[in-house]
Amino acid sequence: MTKERTDETGRRRRWVVATCIALVLAAVGDAGPEIIESHSLVAGYDGPGPLIYLGFIAVVATVRWWRFAPLLAVAMSAFFLFGGFADADFASRLVTPTGVEFVAAWLQMLSFAAAIVCGTASVRWRRAGTAVNS
């Protein structure tokens, strides 16, 4: 394995890890306010969102043989980002500074945006690296 190939794989891995971290932060932003309010991880459950994010993290982190696996997280993030902005109740949390819910809503939306950027970059790095080397 050449040094360029190793560097390329390392760069791609860093983008994949950044995508996974962004999705963990999105899960924290989604479930955090309910967990804080109820003082319980189980009682604070308000929907499957955080579990869906964690499922996508597992797929993106473990499926190394398929180059386009991070694009699954990109598609999911775009779907939830659009859904968050389309929901009037959620959108009102983004413009009304009320403490934890305001911060959590912005954390979730910015994390989805970061997952879109990082997931796309993880796929693009490999393509750009192979085009330059051929």
What confidence tens digit (pLDDT) does each residue in 1-45 have?
555 555 667 788 899 999 999 999 999 888 877 777 776 666 666
pLDDT bucket at 72, cuts 50 / 70 / 90: very high
Residue 27's domain spans which residues? 3-133
DSSP string, 61-114: HH--S-TTTHHHHHHHHHHHHHHHHH-HHHHHHHHS--SHHHHHHHHHHHHHHH
The pTM score is 0.80
Average pLDDT rounded to a whole number, residues 56-64: 89
Q: What is the dihedral of CA 10, 76, 103, 50, to 10 degrees?
A: -90
Residue 134: DSSP 8-state: -
CB atoms under 10 Å from CB of 50, counted, come to: 22
Question: How many domains does the chain fold into?
Answer: 1
